[in-house]
Amino acid sequence: MEDTVLEDIEIASPSMVKQAARDFAAALAETPQFKAFEQAAYAFRQNQAAQLALQAYQQKQQSLRALLMLNALSAEQHDELERLESAFITQPVVQKYFTAQAELATLCQALGDALSESIGLNYAAACGVSCCG
Amino acid sequence: MQTVLNPSMQEAADALIGNLLASEAFVRCQQAHARLNEDRQAHTLLEQLSQAQADLRKKQANSGVIQTEIDNLRTLQEQVQHNNVIMTYAQTQQEAVNFLREINDEISQLLGINFASFANHTTC
């Protein structure tokens, strides 16, 4: 390996960079998008109907996992799963949560793009995030 | 549509970028990248490797790979692995990525969400 010359260069220590990261997180936490997301997430967690609808949908999905992977659901099973999904996502509190999540994602993407462009690395990809998070 | 950042968010983002670029991991990576750009031999080697990989992929799809092409690819891979300039760049880039992950953890811990997941454009 070749040695890198770092003399004459002002280096930011890891603790300085981490402080800048914490300041960045604090600024993001103060944005209307983040506050709206937190409120929507709280309302969603507290809403019993939404939680029960989510549970019912997830349980059905889990029970059909093998068939789903094989794309081998019967028409009835498919309809039942769609009905449960719809019962979940049409809950007003869930819709509010998804909207707030999308708005926060738009802001985070703009910030991620600014970071990526400046540092020469794709921020999300470098942090090991795939399409499924 | 372009997202407009409020002044304090913009300031915090600029400060984070400035600090990241001035961190040891990123400075080393930038220096190694500059050396790679200046090194004609290293550049040629990477281009040859990339071309050989693309050719092999194409031939694999057509089931027409011959042993000499596989040997040629292995030779190029070995040359790359013995090239100081290329390997220094690869190593410093990995160190920069590791440091970036630490920074993302710091941000995410405070927010209670994985910031990088929210910053990701790709969806399933």
Amino acid at B23: S
Secondary structure class of A12 (helix, strand, coil): strand
Cβ–Cβ gap B17/A119 under 8 Å: yes
> Sorting pLDDT into bands at 50, 70 and 90, what band is B1?
low
Cβ–Cβ gap B18/A28 under 8 Å: no
How confident is the model over A14-41, as pLDDT tens digits?
A: 999 999 999 999 999 999 999 999 999 9
Alpha helices in A30-122 (DSSP H): 32-46, 48-63, 65-69, 75-89, 92-119
- Stretch (H or E) spanning B59: helix B40-61
Q: Could you give the maximum distance between any two Cα atoms of chain B, in Å?
A: 60
Q: What distance in Å separates residue A114's CA from the closest CA in chain B?
A: 8
Domain boundaries, chain B: 26-116
Task: Collect all residues of chain B within an 8 Å Cβ-Cβ radius of residue A121.
Answer: 93, 96-97, 100
Nearest Cα to Cα of residue B52 among B67, B36, B37, B74: B74
Choice among A105-114, B1-10, B69-78, B103-112 with the minimum mean pLDDT: B1-10
Residue B37 in contact with residue A53, Cβ under 8 Å? no
Residue A64 in contact with residue A73, Cβ under 8 Å? yes
Q: What distance in Å separates residue B85's CA from the closest CA in chain A?
A: 7
Cβ–Cβ gap B120/A131 under 8 Å: yes
CA A81 to each of CA A84, A95, A127, B54, B119: distance values in angstroms, whole numbers, following the listed order: 5, 19, 34, 43, 30
> Sorting pLDDT into bands at 50, 70 and 90, what band is B85?
very high
* pLDDT at position A131: 54
Please give the full DSSP string across B4-52, using - where no structure is assigned: PPPHHHHHHHHHHHHHHHTBHHHHHHHHHHHHHHH-HHHHHHHHHHHHH
pLDDT reading at B124 higher than 70: no
Per-residue pLDDT of chain A (133 residues; tens, 9 = 90+): 445 566 677 899 999 999 999 999 999 999 999 999 999 999 999 999 999 999 999 999 999 999 999 999 999 999 999 999 999 999 999 999 999 999 999 999 999 999 999 999 999 999 987 655 4
Please tell me the pTM assigned to this model.
Answer: 0.85
